[in-house]
Amino acid sequence: MRYFFYEVKEGLLISFQAIRANKMRSALTTLGIVIGIVSVTLMGTAIEGLDRAFNKSIAAIGADVLYVQKWPWGGGQEWWLIRNRKDIRIKHARDLEKQATLAKAVAPATGTRRKVKYERKVVEDVVVVGTTEGFTETSGANIAFGRFFTSMESDGGRPVCAVGSEVAANLFPNENPIGKSIKIGNYTYRVLGVFDRQGSILGMESLDNRVYVPITRFFKEFANVRQGIQVMVKAASLEDVENAKEEVRGIMRKSRGLKPKEADDFAINQQEILIQTFNSIGVVIAGVGLFITGLALFVGGIGIMNIMFVSVTERTKEIGIRKAIGAPRRTILLQFLVES
């Protein structure tokens, strides 16, 4: 045992001498190891971060919410046929509100962009969303302070609004926005409430740079009533989602006057579709990441192998002398293992 430790000690001394004598070679060997380790760490962190960001974003969509829209999520259909579909109208949202028995809440929504102004402060390119009182229920968004507009204010098209946290911070940095009058485009609205910070969905447009107004007023001041909308339908419970989906499909087919053999000319989207799409993309991303990581490790390994091969080759004479004076094979092997 003492002899083994003596061999290790001598091996370490000789190894450090060899490393000091070949600084460039040692640096290149270390670089190969570092590249391999860093590539594995970075790729793992990137994939984990992507999953976390997606899960956080997808939670905002809601597992129990159906989105009745013209276009399906995830593709897979002939876009030129979908493009010719009739838009979803406010009439369809009203029919769903009246007839959907498995829906906890129904909210139509549509949008445009306008500048928003308070006194001398202006926020450009704000998304103005026209919706109804059911929006907070279907979207899961919370009012930080103040309130959202009521059904009476929504149906009556009152000039009231709720603003996103980013808009509130820009227009009212040092004062309470509740009750204040702001200009949305050329029209005056009274602020009723401010939303909690929501961030963005899938890293796209911020949900905090928005202003919400009654949809009836939206069509009077910002768009024609013929503009297409989407309708959000929140199921009574998670267990009722599939049944609610079939009920919504039936109501929509009737509302749009489709015959029994005609295909749906609308899409009912839900969180599950995005999850399936992302999982497919995630497999590809993970595969590419694994390939890049494997390639980095392979290149690093080849570099280390070549450098160690040169190290052994140029010391062939030294190995021969050691063997000639009686050094066992184990001692020589241990020397190069320690140096490695």
> Considering the domain boundaries, does residue 47 fall inside one?
yes
Q: Is the pLDDT at 123 greater than 70, yes or no?
A: yes
Which among 269, 288, 321 is the end of a domain?
Answer: 269
Same domain, 228 and 301: no
Same domain, 91 and 173: yes
Same domain, 102 and 230: yes
Dig out the tokens for 3 from the structure.
Answer: 């002899």
Q: Is the pLDDT at 201 greater than 80, yes or no?
A: no
With vertex at residue 339, the alpha carbon angle to CA 337 and CA 340, rounded to the nearest 5 degrees, is 65
Q: What does the alpha-carbon distance between residue 298 and residue 312 come to, in Å, rounded to a whole number?
A: 21
Same domain, 48 and 119: no
Most confident listed range (187-196, 220-229, 290-299): 187-196
Domain count, the chain: 2
What are the two backbone dihedrals, phi and then psi, of residue 15, each rounded to the nearest 5 degrees?
A: -65, -45
Q: 107 with 231: CB under 8 angstroms?
A: yes
Same domain, 91 and 214: yes
> Considering the domain boundaries, does residue 245 fall inside one?
yes
> Considering the domain boundaries, does residue 274 fall inside one?
no
Q: What does the alpha-carbon distance between residue 60 and residue 87 come to, in Å, rounded to a whole number?
A: 25
Which among 230, 248, 269 is the end of a domain?
Answer: 269
Which among 234, 269, 304 is the end of a domain?
Answer: 269
With vertex at residue 130, the alpha carbon angle to CA 275 and CA 67, rounded to the nearest 5 degrees, is 25
> Considering the domain boundaries, does residue 97 fall inside one?
yes
Place of tokens 């002939």: 78
The percent of residues in the chain predicted with pLDDT above 70, rounded, is 80
> Considering the domain boundaries, does residue 275 fall inside one?
no
Please state whether beta strands 103-118 and 187-195 pair in parallel, antiparallel, or not at all (unpaired): unpaired
> Considering the domain boundaries, does residue 29 fall inside one?
yes
Same domain, 139 and 182: yes
Same domain, 17 and 79: no
pLDDT in the model for residue 56: 64
pLDDT in the model for residue 280: 66
- Give the domain range for residue 50: 2-56+280-339
Q: Is the pLDDT at 165 greater than 90, yes or no?
A: yes
Report which of residues 72 and 117 the model is more confident about.
117
Q: How confident is the model at residue 2 (pLDDT cuts 50, 70, 90)?
A: low
Dig out the tokens for 269 from the structure.
Answer: 């989207």
Same domain, 255 and 109: yes
Considering the entire predicted model, what is its pTM? 0.69
Three-state SS string across the chain, please?
Answer: CHHHHHHHHHHHHHHHHHHHHCHHHHHHHHHHHHHHHHHHHHHHHHHHHHHHHHHHHHHCCCCCEEEEECCCCCCCCCHHHHHCCCCCCHHHHHHHHHHCCCEEEEEEEEEEEEEEEECCEEEEEEEEEEECCCHHHHHCCCEEEECCCCHHHHHCCCCEEEECHHHHHHHCCCCCCCCCEEEECCEEEEEEEEECCCCECCCCCECCCEEEEEHHHHHHHCCCCCCCCEEEEEECCHHHHHHHHHHHHHHHHHHCCCCCCCCCCCEEECHHHHHHHHHHHHHHHHHHHHHHHHHHHHHHHHHHHHHHHHHHHCCHHHHHHHHHCCCCHHHHHHHHHHHC
> Considering the domain boundaries, does residue 134 fall inside one?
yes
| Residue type at 181 in one-letter notation | S
Same domain, 46 and 18: yes
Same domain, 218 and 97: yes
**Range 271-292 average pLDDT:** 69
Same domain, 138 and 45: no
> Considering the domain boundaries, does residue 224 fall inside one?
yes
Same domain, 328 and 182: no
**CB neighbourhood size of 89 (10 A):** 18
